[in-house]
Chains A and B, each alone.
Chain A
């Protein structure tokens, strides 16, 4: 077969830059970035999208997304997104936040943004640990899970049980689209993509607040190989954090 006859079947989405990644080998942030970028491309939203980067491993998300970006203080991305989207409801706004950022220091901001029904999308990446600072306990760290600040394992008698964010947000009466997905297998990646795209579609239609929790691995700070990390996620994280749709907005016309 000549070179001319070869067809590109897999390319970089327009919504991603060609920057070299800083993420660790085996980290799933790259996969999740791609799913967001593919969704923006397919819905034709890139040119009117503004992302809000968190503090944590994905603090440099703005280097990888080929759209306008704001860099938020730790946990406050939903407040920035609120301010921006309220003034520019015609634009597409998303926050990209980890579990320390969203479920710990940013708990108030995400709960109130969701409760006000702010019409932006949050991609919540939960790997049950603080990655950037080197593996400390997060609100989502599993019982008994060893981290640098829970060296004997998370003691739930002292620090409580891990917070299930999507379940917590699902108790709010305000309409929203809330789903938990994972990216530990090709099948789950396809499901995650569908959820993320659906969230942006709801936003484009001005329907509701949307949050997709994506279960993710952290091989470096879990002290595992990428393959072991994927397996550990499947066997330990998923049983505590069930994957399903927790809330959808009422059908258009019944709102």
Chain B
């Protein structure tokens, strides 16, 4: 298929459709509302379900009910709305139901602002709701990657019977870029969904729940869930290296739109004869701990510089990985301010003792 110019939110919506998710529940919130508007038009064309709920609380729980049918379902929202969905996400993780959530992040806390931010790293990667659980988190840096990762998200949700979240900042949702969609989403075979509620015909009734009043049973369920997380950590780590070489003294760590800005800064510095590399996590959970540790441990790396559109959230994971091996520095802008490549370059030059 040839490339088409599309807005991120609309591309994500189309990608979900093509991954077989013809069921979408939503509540309007900036800066992701175009996903809903696009699907309000598109869903009837493919015979799918489009429903605007009364709140994100209800939408999250509509997803729970819909996912119980075994069909692919998803929703999209932005930071405050995703907070409201956390109730259902926790229940779905407990009941082991596959669902895909897209969070086009804006500035917080509270109502915050509507401009791009990476303010929900903690919420996305550390559980988000109550209880012992994790959500698989994918962070695209381009619209094409948003398309590819959204499709992958549905496969991974089914594979692990667990919620999967695609997080992009407002820039990913609002920016237009050329994208290419596969005619048909090709994915490895998945086991049959014998867990879906299809009616107790010729079999025993099936219960989808997260309630286990017997502590032994609850612990057993949690251990079972965490076996899946161990498998995710072994098999689903995704990351990208950009211009890493033995000439680098600084290793940047950044994801999403911010990583892309770092790439522009790296290219500019290269033209000035300064070599810097970037480690870009694509899966934020499971986080590429071992891979980042290996890169940061290289003898030529003197400093690890984490750059985020937040006050420093992924920073805590980078610190955890790098530990005492190398100094970990941080640069971030927050509140919806997107740092320019020049600001990144200045940070790097200061670290190299070449600052203004």
Measured CB to CB, the residues of A under 8 A from B are 17, 46-50, 52-53, 59, 62, 65-73, 76, 79-88, 91, 108-109, 111-112
Q: Which of A48, A53, A70, A108 contacts B65 (CB 8 A)?
A: A70
Cβ of A113 to closest chain B Cβ, rounded Å: 9
Interface presence of B206 (CB below 8 A) = yes
B55-73 vs A, CB cutoff 8 Å, 1 = contact: the mask equals: 1011111111111110101
In the complex, the answer to whether B207 meets A84 with C-beta atoms within 8 Å is no
Cβ–Cβ < 8 Å partners of A67 in chain B: 199-200, 205
Cβ of B90 to closest chain A Cβ, rounded Å: 8
Q: Which of A46, A49, A69, A80 contacts B61 (CB 8 A)?
A: A80
Q: Which of B55, B68, B200, B211 contacts A80 (CB 8 A)?
A: B68
Assembly CA distance A52 to B197 (angstroms): 11
6 residue pairs of the A-B complex, CB under 8 angstroms, read: A47-B201, A69-B205, A70-B197, A79-B57, A79-B64, A81-B65
Residues of B29-66 contacting chain A, CB below 8 A: 49, 51, 53-55, 57-66
Cβ–Cβ < 8 Å partners of A73 in chain B: 61, 64, 87-88, 91
CB-based closest 7 A-B pairs: A83-B65, A71-B209, A80-B65, A83-B66, A79-B61, A83-B62, A47-B201
Given that A47-B200, A50-B197 are known contacts, is A76 also in contact with B58, CB under 8 Å in the complex? yes
Cβ of A166 to closest chain B Cβ, rounded Å: 20
In the complex, the answer to whether B64 meets A65 with C-beta atoms within 8 Å is no
In the complex, the answer to whether A50 meets B199 with C-beta atoms within 8 Å is yes
Assembly CA distance A84 to B91 (angstroms): 16
Known: A65-B205, A70-B209, A73-B87. 13 other contacts (CB 8 A): A62-B209, A67-B199, A67-B200, A67-B205, A68-B206, A70-B68, A71-B207, A79-B58, A80-B64, A83-B62, A84-B69, A86-B49, A112-B53
How many B residues are at the interface, by size bracket? Answer: 35 or more
Assembly CA distance A71 to B197 (angstroms): 12
In the complex, the answer to whether B211 meets A71 with C-beta atoms within 8 Å is yes
In the complex, the answer to whether A68 meets B199 with C-beta atoms within 8 Å is yes
Cβ–Cβ < 8 Å partners of A83 in chain B: 25, 61-68, 73
Cβ of A41 to closest chain B Cβ, rounded Å: 13
Cβ of B356 to closest chain A Cβ, rounded Å: 54
In the complex, the answer to whether B207 meets A69 with C-beta atoms within 8 Å is yes
Interface presence of B350 (CB below 8 A) = no
Assembly CA distance A84 to B70 (angstroms): 10
Interface centre among B54, B63, B71, B87 (most CB of A within 10 A): B54
In the complex, the answer to whether B61 meets A72 with C-beta atoms within 8 Å is yes
Assembly CA distance A81 to B25 (angstroms): 13
Interface presence of B340 (CB below 8 A) = no
Assembly CA distance A111 to B58 (angstroms): 11
In the complex, the answer to whether B95 meets A71 with C-beta atoms within 8 Å is yes
Q: Which of B65, B67, B208 contacts A82 (CB 8 A)?
A: B65
Cβ–Cβ < 8 Å partners of A72 in chain B: 61, 64, 91
Assembly CA distance A48 to B198 (angstroms): 7
Assembly CA distance A88 to B202 (angstroms): 19
Given that A83-B25, A83-B73, A87-B49 are known contacts, is A70 also in contact with B66, CB under 8 Å in the complex? no
Cβ–Cβ < 8 Å partners of B211 in chain A: 59, 71
Assembly CA distance A117 to B95 (angstroms): 28
In the complex, the answer to whether B69 meets A49 with C-beta atoms within 8 Å is no
In the complex, the answer to whether A86 meets B205 with C-beta atoms within 8 Å is no
In the complex, the answer to whether B199 meets A79 with C-beta atoms within 8 Å is no
Cβ of B201 to closest chain A Cβ, rounded Å: 4
In the complex, the answer to whether A70 meets B205 with C-beta atoms within 8 Å is no
Q: Which of B58, B73, B202, B205 contacts A109 (CB 8 A)?
A: B58
Cβ–Cβ < 8 Å partners of B88 in chain A: 73, 76
Cβ–Cβ < 8 Å partners of B91 in chain A: 72-73
Assembly CA distance A76 to B58 (angstroms): 7
Interface presence of B210 (CB below 8 A) = yes
Cβ–Cβ < 8 Å partners of B71 in chain A: 87
Cβ–Cβ < 8 Å partners of B198 in chain A: 68, 91
Assembly CA distance A152 to B194 (angstroms): 52
Cβ of A17 to closest chain B Cβ, rounded Å: 8
Given that A68-B199, A76-B57 are known contacts, is A84 also in contact with B66, CB under 8 Å in the complex? yes
Interface presence of B23 (CB below 8 A) = yes
Assembly CA distance A54 to B198 (angstroms): 20
Assembly CA distance A65 to B197 (angstroms): 14
Cβ of A56 to closest chain B Cβ, rounded Å: 12
Cβ of B175 to closest chain A Cβ, rounded Å: 31
Cβ–Cβ < 8 Å partners of A17 in chain B: 205
In the complex, the answer to whether B69 meets A88 with C-beta atoms within 8 Å is yes
Assembly CA distance A193 to B64 (angstroms): 30
Given that A80-B68, A84-B68 are known contacts, is A70 also in contact with B58, CB under 8 Å in the complex? no
Assembly CA distance A52 to B91 (angstroms): 14
Given that A69-B207, A73-B87 are known contacts, is A84 also in contact with B199, CB under 8 Å in the complex? no
